[in-house]
Chain A
Amino acid sequence: MQSAFSLSFSQSSLTLPNRPLCSPNAAPRNLRFCGLRREAFGFSPPKQLNSCRFQVKNRRIESFDYDLVIIGAGVGGHGAALHAVEKGLKTAIIEGDVVGGTCVNRGCVPSKALLAVSGRMRELQNEHHMKSFGLQVSAAGYDRQGVADHASNLATKIRNNLTNSMKALGVDILTGFGSVLGPQKVKYGKDNVITAKDIIIATGSVPFVPKGIEVDGKTVITSDHALKLESVPDWIAIVGSGYIGLEFSDVYTALGSEVTFIEALDQLMPGFDPEISKLAQRVLINPRKIDYHTGVFASKITPAKDGRPVMIELIDAKTKEHKDTLEVDAALIATGRAPFTNGLGLENINVATQRGFIPVDERMRVIDGNGKLVPNLYCIGDANGKLMLAHAASAQGISVVEQVTGRDHVLNHLSIPAACFTHPEISMVGLTEPQAREKAEKEGFKVSIAKTSFKANTKALAENEGEGLAKMIYRPDNGEILGVHIFGLHAADLIHEASNAIALGTRIQDIKLAVHAHPTLSEVVDELFKAAKVESPASTTPQSVKAAV
């Protein structure tokens, strides 16, 4: 890491004098250091950097306090800050709450800790599964506080890593609530005003609670409360069957709760490829202690009080007629997330939010009320609502830094993978089958589907986890991958071969010749590539060209 870093440092110092003409191949290599993985940097001595920053300062014509100020130290802001330092920018990050934002403190990170527990509980409780290994386990039990501590300890650890990595690199962490005062001017805390050449808004989101629902934090809760695992109710209703709801259903049922899903759309897991959601329902919902109501809104939810359980009024999603009243022990509101953009001072620069989201163009440049770009102002992550995922925010942040350091960059959102960490996991990148078919119809190309099963994979069978499906949607004429969807063991880790291929434009006829270690789960994806029937021949590989020359 150390050597890799000094290398990039020397590059940036070399290219600084003519920054706008920054060599295009200098940057992509560094992209791999995005997101949380940069914690490893925490140990790099900051000395070199300071000298670098000094250089930059001397060469600057205009005088700003910072080259870049980021409002919000979540995963998006963190990714942007680290990349900015790497690019030689003097960077500050403003945080009004805790470093790490939703992902680290109230989202992906603690939920993964709970899911790690639920996965093990599930295995230990599955007598049949254990027996098939020849293992004998007496009753599996758990200590709720111990589970909760695991989640909060993990969040603390990752938060510290994040903080240290930024401090070590010389990012100034400014504490206080940040807002935009005007062009290139930001206020934080009570009345600290700083100027910056460029500003990134990365304020993220908060759980969305529809009206009529009274959240008391005890029996009617959001993911923020649920992650603390202060109780494991006997029966919990989960409003919304997207990623968040699904993951919590996995946790709660593994810990012994019964779950009732309430979904406004006509089917569960509406965001997934239909075939995947059908299979997921068969594996993640039907055999578990879960039932569901679809096509209904929870119009009113009252917390448990005065000896009454939690009451949930259901109305038909279309006709709005009363349909049912549920009585449960708790309700988790997982209806999505709302952007956290209030009090940002957007009125100072004439920006109007749309349902709370800050409008941006494909380069994350903020668009004002007149449809014009606001100079030097960017918005990344959940606050712009393009793709509400931690790693998407980080990628957007890196894309912005690329732009402000002179390299035009447009992030291909279709190459950003997404994952749901149930047991087994669900992952996807690109288009779903219906989306692809719609696009194909419009643009006049053919679409083909390739599928492989985890049942045919040695490693999956060795783990007794043959349940699963991988599916690829592609163009048979040129071998372009349009989308890949995986449901099965470690699906979240398997998707990256496909997402990288999409990001780099690798075609199936080329990637199918790449070799995978045997026996590994990655062969499921390998089989997908090999199962595809592409009309165009493989291109000559760059290596062989080089060898020939």
Chain B
Amino acid sequence: MALSSSSFLSTPSLPNSKSTISFASSVSPAPIPSLRRVVFRSHRREMTVRSKIREIFMPALSSTMTEGKIVSWLKTEGEKLAKGQSVVVVESDKADMDVETFYDGYLAAIVVGEGETAPVGAAIGLLAETEAEIEEAKSKAASKSSSAAVAPSPPPPATSSPAPAISQPAPVAAGSDGPRKTVATPYAKKLAKQHKVDIGSVAGTGPFGRITASDVEAAAGIAPSVAPPPPPPAASPTATTAKATTTSSPPLLPDSSVVPFTAMQSAVSKNMIESLSVPTFRVGYPVNTDALDALYEKVKPKGVTMTALLAKAAGMALAQHPVVNASCKDGKSFSYNSNINIAVAVAINGGLITPVLQDADKLDLYLLSQKWKELVGKARSKQLQPHEYNSGTFTLSNLGMFGVDRFDAILPPGQGAIMAVGASKPTVVADKDGFFSVKNKMMVNVTADHRIVYGADLAAFLQTFAKIVENPDSLTL
């Protein structure tokens, strides 16, 4: 494999058949004072370089590759690397390839974790030359990853959390003589490494006092993620003793499982807790949608979606009621936004994201629809840029397609109001002359921050919104 590693530098275009490749690493240009910039491939020995942390780049494994997925890190953080060793496996559009290091050193930090994707040329890890620099590189990596769009989930705390299993002394195996050595099963060792748990500090509760996977999970403060395969029903020599150990998390019902939050779910959770500090109130308003539905039928063939129609209507209404588009940042003042950016909640696999239609009041319906399609596509492939999901000034949430007739939304932090739209349903209405007729009615419910938006403001806004929807010709202008 030494052959192929050198070929990476000498031949820029790479044959696809090679499955081992070396990453180009360079000295980081980041402004860490103790670092000196060194020209790539300089005579390292002659120079007095105090410390050096190299970035490991996502290599271009084929001419068509624009980004690569990390299949697996073959080394763990802190592990020593020798020149020519395979460090990481990268999946390109064609194959999985080993990426080798050009330098001796330590894998100081993994910036892009397994299963994540990074564009070609992006730093995926940091290589420290000496052990002393590992810490420094780690802090650097932390700043890197926190700025990344999808941050790798932080490792669970290695410190002991108040899991009930470890507060009890481990049963000492009967008949043990002398100081017992640590016996841990293969999976327990793997988990310990993965969760950075010192296996020596874990008390084993398995047969013969051995450390099992559930012991490590308890020590790491996580419940078993996947229920272990059922123990064989027949009596194996150890089956009875083993059974007792697999039930170490009392609060869980049998067959239930605990799945940790993804980064996105953590963000949602955090925002929801934060929202509790804002005093909100709600105002509902029934809106006649016959005209809107008729318009929708007309413009649907041109690619206009209901979301775009509603966003446009909300945008136009907000333009007349700037206070509903404002926010309260400090509890002391109104922050009026210069743009009307409508965030629209979208459920995506395992999460929720709010792509933002910027300047919804200004863009015409067709451009808005086009923009929306683009955003949804990006959201599904997790390629939204931060400004495309966090620049909203007002949020629209529509559950009408599920047949929901009305619901209540939680106000996202940093915004003044959120609109919850239910389904449009045929409703019997009586007019002022007592004549009954059937009209399509849709319940719109807005939640707002009462520090800045008062009841009358919201009611007036809704009235304007209803007028626009009921006379929707202005939407197409």
Contacts and interface: CB of A to CB of B under 8 A. Distances in A.
A531 B213 CA distance: 45
A255 interface: yes
Contacts of A144: 232-234
A307 B174 contact: yes
Contacts of B261: none
* Interface core residue of B94, B96, B210, B213 (most chain A CB under 10 Å): B96
A265 interface: no
A290 B19 contact: no
A282 B229 contact: no
A506 B210 CA distance: 57
A275 B208 contact: no
B19 A451 contact: yes
B72 interface: yes
How would you classify the secondary structure of chain A's contact residues: helix, strand, loop or mixed?
mixed
A542 interface: no
B238 A234 contact: yes
Interface string B255-266: 100000000000
Given A125-B229, A139-B230, A307-B174, A282 B89 contact: yes
B278 to A, nearest CB: 37
Given A289-B187, A289-B190, A232 B208 contact: no
A260 interface: yes
B227 interface: yes
B230 A256 contact: yes
Contact of A309 (B94, B208, B235): B208
Interface in B86-115: 89, 91, 94-96
A106 to B, nearest CB: 21
Interface core residue of B186, B207, B237 (most chain A CB under 10 Å) = B186
B231 interface: yes
B68 to A, nearest CB: 13
Interface of B (DSSP majority class): loop
B255 A255 contact: no
B17 to A, nearest CB: 5
Contacts of A10: none
Interface string B216-228: 0000000000111
A304 interface: yes
A219 interface: yes
Contacts of B210: 235, 327
B425 interface: no
A231 interface: yes
B237 A259 contact: no
A455 B62 CA distance: 14
Residue of B230, B233, B236 contacting most chain A CB atoms (<10 Å):
B236
Given A449-B17, A451-B19, A145 B234 contact: yes
A329 B237 contact: yes
B427 interface: no
A260 B188 CA distance: 12
A112 interface: no
A139 B232 contact: no
B-side interface size class? 35 or more
A232 B232 contact: yes
B189 interface: yes
A258 B17 contact: no
Contact of B17 (A235, A309, A325, A450): A450
Nearest to A237: B186
B434 interface: no
A252 B74 CA distance: 25
Nearest to A307: B175
A218 B237 CA distance: 9
B255 to A, nearest CB: 7
B229 A141 contact: yes
Contacts of A329: 207, 236-238
A234 B242 contact: yes
A450 B17 CA distance: 7
B283 interface: no
A486 B77 CA distance: 32
A143 interface: yes
B232 A327 contact: no
B385 interface: no
Contacts of B239: 231, 234
A539 B353 CA distance: 61
B151 interface: no
Given A233-B236, A234-B242, A531-B17, A291 B174 contact: no
B94 A233 contact: no
Contacts of B242: 234
A455 B189 contact: no
Contact of B232 (A255, A282, A449): A255
A219 B186 CA distance: 18
Contact of A233 (B89, B233, B238): B238
A453 interface: yes
Interface in A193-252: 218-219, 231-235
Contacts of B208: 308-309, 327
Interface string B191-229: 000000000000000111010010000000000001111
A259 B17 contact: no
B183 interface: yes
A469 interface: yes
A146 to B, nearest CB: 10
Interface in A455-494: 455-456, 467, 469
A138 to B, nearest CB: 9
A258 B187 contact: yes
A123 to B, nearest CB: 13
A81 B237 CA distance: 44
B269 interface: no
B190 A233 contact: no
Interface string A112-153: 000000000100010100000000000111111100000000
Nearest to A131: B349
A141 B233 CA distance: 10
A275 B17 CA distance: 13
Contacts of A455: 91, 94-96
Q: Which interface residue of B94, B226, B230 has the most chain A CB atoms within 10 A?
A: B230
A343 B213 CA distance: 50
B416 to A, nearest CB: 39
Contact of B237 (A139, A233, A260): A233
A518 B95 CA distance: 20
B185 interface: yes
Contact of B227 (A139, A218, A232): A139
A455 B96 CA distance: 9
Nearest to B255: A139
B72 to A, nearest CB: 7
Given A259-B186, A307-B174, A453-B94, A232 B17 contact: no
A231 B232 contact: yes
A233 B236 CA distance: 6
Nearest to B74: A282
Given A255-B232, A531-B17, A282 B238 contact: no
Contacts of A307: 174-175
Contact of B95 (A127, A282, A286, A453): A453
B175 A231 contact: no
The 9 closest A-B pairs by CB, nearest first: A256-B229, A231-B236, A291-B186, A289-B187, A453-B95, A232-B232, A144-B232, A141-B230, A451-B17
27 contacts: A127-B226, A139-B255, A140-B229, A144-B232, A219-B237, A231-B236, A231-B237, A231-B239, A232-B232, A233-B236, A234-B236, A234-B238, A235-B210, A256-B230, A256-B231, A256-B232, A258-B185, A260-B186, A289-B185, A290-B186, A291-B186, A327-B208, A329-B207, A451-B17, A455-B95, A456-B94, A467-B96
Given A235-B186, A309-B208, A327-B183, 17 more contacts: A142-B230, A145-B234, A231-B237, A233-B236, A234-B238, A234-B239, A256-B229, A256-B230, A256-B231, A286-B72, A290-B186, A325-B181, A451-B17, A453-B94, A453-B95, A455-B96, A456-B95
Interface of A: 121, 125, 127, 139-145, 218-219, 231-235, 255-256, 258-260, 275, 282, 286, 289-291, 304, 307-309, 325-327, 329-330, 449-451, 453, 455-456, 467, 469, 531
